[in-house]
Chains A and B, each alone.
Chain A
Amino acid sequence: MTTMRRRAVPYLLISPTVALIAAFLVYPIASVAYYSLQHRNLTRPWADGFAGLDNFRRMLFEDEVFWHSLGFTAKWVVVEIGLQLILGLALALIVNESFIGRGLARSLVFSPWAVSGVLTTGIWILLYTPSTGVLRFLGQPEAAVLGNPDTVFPAVVVTELWRGVPFFAILLLAGLQGIPGELYEAAAVDGAGRIRRFLHVTLPHLRDAIVLATLLRGVWEFNNVDLLYTLTGGGPAQVTTTLPLYVAQRAVDSKDFGYGSALTMAGFVILLFCSILYLRLSRFGEER
């Protein structure tokens, strides 16, 4: 083989990936930027045309749902990630211990991760149904949990925790397995108790894994549309509408592509800004 041909091998190997990403991820993003400057609605094609910044003006100054969805998105991501981190870390620590039946326990507690958002909705609708759900055994009065603006938020949070905690735990368990056992032995010899071993050995070693997991899951929860779309439809009265859910509703239901693209651009900018800010603040990957 000539040197030239050998040099080409890695590029040939990545060429399908590059082509697919260029055609179906990079080009679409560019086209979203273009659509956001257009009036484009599949149901009203006669009104299509160049819009300039009109979509953005409408979004920023006339659309209350947009501003409300931003607030709810922030609340949703922060509450979900906070609770998932605490529960996921506890779960990872538990199934990292050695005990009889650990493999089975891991399979069982991790299994909701494999369940889709729509199926999660299906299952929890059964649980939340007033007449036949499980809540009647807990003394919950006959009330539609999902139809009430006061109870809908805790209800969707618990539902998403059921599916979200397992993957958090998987990511953190992978991190836990990378901590050398000698460190714990050394700490124990030095007289460190269980809590101090956790604070001074486990947490520092897990820092990068925690930052990565919270970031990945944060982005994922931000983008999570399936569950809310099917469980509450963003309701009642739009109180559970996140920004991506709002975009999806614009795309799927009203086919308003121009305005939906403007919302998408706003979502990109916010996500990018928050991610960079988070990585900076958490000083990811830096040696201390």
Chain B
Amino acid sequence: MSADVMIRPRTRAVPAGTRRRKRHDPGRVLRLYVPLGMYLVFTLVPFYWMLVFALRPAGSTDPVPWPITFEHFETVWNDIGYAVFFKNSVIVGVWSLLFTTVIAVMGGYALSRYRFRGRGLFMVVLLCTQFIPGAMMLIPLFSIFKSLGLINSLASLIVADTVFNLPLSIILMSGFISAVPFTVEEAAMVDGCTRFRGFLAIVLPQLRPGLIAVGSFAFIHTWNNFLFALMFVSKQDSFTIPVGLSYTIGEYSADFGALAAGGVVAALPVVCVFAVVQRYLVHGISAGAVKG
């Protein structure tokens, strides 16, 4: 798709010299493939180990899970209640994704296209929020949600996660919007579109990589958030995946099969999302956050 090509330039910083070298250059193998291979082992062995525990029968110490069994998945999904935790996490994740993305498009558009009084202050406030520790907001947020009657409700998690996702999402989004030339938008307005129609017709389609990056960022963060869910929700039928997993770690610490199967359930959605969007993320950061 053309927008991808336009917005995501290929790596320019190909170090000089790579072209001159042959593929089987021993220096290149030592410099590149050996450390990369070692790092891959460090990254992948833990994932593999989780899979081994999840797929082999209880009591086995075989490093290769064969024959595989799904008994641990049945245990966590039905008996421990991961079906419910999973559903709760999806609800919180999707709503937070939607709110974050829509509000971030609005805020990002304002930052990117308008020069208004207070813009600098708004930017500074957004950056400052990055220094606010979620753990330290537990006490006051608990009091607020309690007075709103939202304790034990998934709404408290949706609100809190959206608020904590927003600042970085707006900064990223304004970078993506700035990458869409304003002249095309102006041309649409000259042709009689309102600014809003022009935005929907011209900017939004080209913003797809930005929407994917910001949305997936918000989803992953929300899916993984543990402390808010631990603090604001104490009824088991409102637990999210990380809270359920933390109890599995505590209570089932002898049942490593259940722990590992729960881990696979927790990991699968985010790792899949991440594998798809990883390339947009690198570009989004170079467009938005690092260069300002």
Contact = CB atoms under 8 A, between A and B. Distances in A.
A116 B13 contact: no
A235 interface: no
Interface stretch (A46-54, A59-67, A77-85, A220-228): A220-228
B200 interface: no
Nearest to A268: B136
A179 B43 contact: no
Given A112-B43, A187-B16, A11 B136 contact: no
B163 A25 contact: yes
Contact of B140 (A14, A35, A125): A35
A170 B138 contact: no
Interface in A164-201: 166, 170-171, 173-181, 184-185, 187-188, 194, 197
A18 B139 CA distance: 22
B14 interface: yes
Interface stretch (B64-72, B102-110, B178-186): B102-110
Contacts of B2: none
Contacts of B84: none
Given A13-B110, A226-B227, A257 B47 contact: no
B139 A126 contact: no
B135 A178 contact: no
Contacts of A151: none
B263 A123 contact: yes
Interface in B35-85: 35-36, 39-40, 42-47, 49-50, 53, 61, 63
B263 to A, nearest CB: 4
Contacts of A121: 246, 249
A74 interface: no
B232 to A, nearest CB: 10
Interface of A is mostly: helix
Contacts of B226: 116-118, 226, 229-230
Interface string A83-123: 00001001100111111000101111111111111110111
Q: For this complex, into which size category does the number of interface residues on chain B fall?
A: 35 or more
A188 B271 contact: no
Contact of A111 (B134, B245, B274): B274
B43 A108 contact: yes
Contacts of A245: 135
Interface residues of A, number: 103
A261 B12 contact: no
Contacts of B138: 247-248, 251-252
B12 A10 contact: no
B28 to A, nearest CB: 8
A111 B107 contact: no
Nearest to B162: A20
Contacts, number: 292
Contacts of B17: 188, 194
Contacts of A177: 9, 11-13, 282-283, 286
A28 interface: yes
Contacts of A27: 140, 144
B15 A94 contact: no
Contact of B249 (A10, A230, A267): A230
Contacts of A31: 140, 143-144
Interface string B222-260: 011111001100000000001001101100010010011
B129 A25 contact: yes
Contacts of B113: 10
Contact of B281 (A119, A170, A247): A170
Given A14-B122, A91-B39, A248-B138, A122 B18 contact: no
A114 B220 contact: yes
A11 B40 CA distance: 47
A13 B109 contact: yes
Interface string A10-29: 11011011101101110111
A31 B113 CA distance: 35
A178 B286 contact: yes
Nearest to A192: B16
Interface in B122-171: 122, 125, 129-144, 159-160, 162-163, 166-167, 170
Contact of A116 (B35, B49, B224): B224
Nearest to B105: A13
Given A107-B274, A109-B36, A251-B138, 4 more contacts: A10-B119, A94-B39, A105-B36, A178-B290
5 contacts: A10-B110, A126-B50, A223-B136, A225-B135, A267-B133
Interface of A: 7, 9-11, 13-14, 16-18, 20-21, 23-25, 27-29, 31-32, 35, 87, 90-91, 94-99, 103, 105-119, 121-127, 129, 131-134, 137, 162, 166, 170-171, 173-181, 184-185, 187-188, 194, 197, 208-209, 212, 216, 219, 222-223, 225-226, 229-230, 244-245, 247-248, 251-252, 257, 260-261, 264, 267-268, 271-272, 275
